[in-house]
């Protein structure tokens, strides 16, 4: 089934999602999709359909040497789980979620922001992913990405953060009537307080 889905998406989607083997079981009974912004590729040969899957597989394989970029993924899983979890212990969590990068063209340099057109050219692929995998909850990495998501949905219920801040959510309605709720969090890189964001995410996933 997974291979069939991927073959059907190839014409629309440049970078296929990572889909954990227990995605259908979800977290707290919810199907959770985690949304990154883009891939950086040093050359065209790196921009292959399975790059997202390779990144997550490489991260959770503890036989691979640790690299600095992996800190981002470890911090996010700590925020998701609420635990001081190690890279080696994070695999179970990755197997319960779907991870997808929004922009469907590679960035030509690290920390390069996608253009407005690159975001818009990726909108249809995003909705194809939503219609195919039907997540209940989407957690978007970074306020820039959250702000660039299509506005064809409507505002959802605010999440109250530990400091009292009201954090907006967004809702998309799929063709089958299913509602997909989206939360934008601080990008889990430098300066990311995972314990703070755990409280926000836990409220969102209730």
Each residue of 141-164: pLDDT tens digit?
A: 999 999 999 999 999 999 999 999
Each residue of 19-57: pLDDT tens digit?
A: 999 999 999 999 999 999 999 998 988 999 999 999 999
- Domain range for residue 65? 2-204
Query: What does the DSSP assignment read for 84-142?
Result: ---STT-HHHHTTEEEEES-SS-BSSTTPPPPHHHHHTTHHHHHHHHHHH--SEEEEES
Can you tell me the distance from the alpha carbon of 77 to that of 55, in angstroms, rounded to the nearest whole number?
15
pLDDT exceeding 90 applies to what percent of the chain? Answer: 88
Report whether 98 contacts 34 (CB < 8 A): yes
Mean pLDDT (the chain, rounded): 94
In this predicted structure, the answer to whether residue 6 has a pLDDT above a threshold of 70 is no
Domains in the chain, number: 1
The DSSP letter of residue 17 is P
Which are the contacts of 44, defined by CB distance < 8 A and separation ≥ 6?
106
Residue 206, helix vs strand vs coil? coil
Decide: residue 65, CB within 10 A, 0-12 exposed, 13-18 middle, 19+ buried: exposed
Q: What is the CATH number of the domain that holds 94?
A: 3.40.470.10
pLDDT, residue 198, reads: 98
Each residue of 66-112: pLDDT tens digit?
A: 999 999 999 999 999 999 999 989 999 999 999 999 999 999 888 88
């Amino acid at each position: 089934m997974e291979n069939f889905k991927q073959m059907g998406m190839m014409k629309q989607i440049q970078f296929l999602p990572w889909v954990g083997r227990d995605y259908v079981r979800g977290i707290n009974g919810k199907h959770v999709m985690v949304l990154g912004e883009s891939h950086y590729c040093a050359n065209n040969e790196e921009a292959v359909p399975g790059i997202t899957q390779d990144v997550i597989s490489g991260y959770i394989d503890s036989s691979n040497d640790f690299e600095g970029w992996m800190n981002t993924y470890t911090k996010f899983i700590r925020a998701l789980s609420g635990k001081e979890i190690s890279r080696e212990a994070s695999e179970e969590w990755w197997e319960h979620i779907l991870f997808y990068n929004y922009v469907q063209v590679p960035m030509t340099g690290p920390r390069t922001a996608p253009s407005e057109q690159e975001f818009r050219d990726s909108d249809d692929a995003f909705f194809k992913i939503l219609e195919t995998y039907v997540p209940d909850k989407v957690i978007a990495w970074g306020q820039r990405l959250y702000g660039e998501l299509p506005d064809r949905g409507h505002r959802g219920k605010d999440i109250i953060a530990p400091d009292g801040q009201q954090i907006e959510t967004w809702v998309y309605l799929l063709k089958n009537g299913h509602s997909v709720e989206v939360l934008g969090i601080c990008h889990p890189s430098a300066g990311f307080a995972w314990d703070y964001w755990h409280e926000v995410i836990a409220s969102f996933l209730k």
